[in-house]
Structure 1
Amino acid sequence: MTTTITTGADLVTLVNVFTVDPARQTELVDSLEAATREIFVTMPGFRSANLHTSLDGTRVVNYAQWASEDEYRDALRRPEVREHLTKAMAIAEKVEPALYRVHSVHHIGA
Structure 2
Amino acid sequence: MSTTTTITVDSDSDQVTLVNVFTVDPERQAELVDALDRATAAVFVGDPGFVSANLHASLDGTRVINYAQWTSATAYETALARPEVRQHIGEAAGLATSYDPTLVQVRAVHHA
Percent of matched pairs sharing the same residue: 58
Q: Provide the TM-score with structure 1 as the length reference.
A: 0.94
Counterpart of 2:66 in 1: which secondary structure? strand
Counterpart of 1:95 in 2: which secondary structure? strand
2:9 aligned partner, one-letter code: I
Displacement of 1:3 in angstroms is 1.6
Instruction: Give structure 1 regions of 4+ aligned residues with deviation exceeding 4 angstroms.
Output: none
* Structure 2 residues without counterparts, runs of 5 or longer: none
1:10-39 CA-partner distances (Å, limit 9, x unpaired): 200110000000000000000000001101
Displacement of 1:80 in angstroms is 0.4
Could you say which residue in structure 2 is the equivalent of 1:63?
Answer: 67
Could you say which residue in structure 2 is the equivalent of 1:78?
Answer: 82
1:63 aligned partner, one-letter code: Y
Measured in 1, the distance between the counterparts of 2:37 and 2:18 equals: 15
Could you say which residue in structure 2 is the equivalent of 1:94?
Answer: 98
Could you say which residue in structure 2 is the equivalent of 1:44?
Answer: 48
Measured in 1, the distance between the counterparts of 2:106 and 2:49 equals: 17
Q: Provide the TM-score with structure 2 as the length reference.
A: 0.92
Measured in 1, the distance between the counterparts of 2:86 and 2:23 equals: 19
Measured in 2, the distance between the counterparts of 1:95 and 1:2 equals: 26
1:80 aligned partner, one-letter code: E
1:33-68 CA-partner distances (Å, limit 9, x unpaired): 000110101222000000000000000000110001
Aligned-CA RMSD value: 1.1
1:32 aligned partner, one-letter code: L
Choose the corresponding residue for 1:18, options 11, 18, 22. Answer: 22
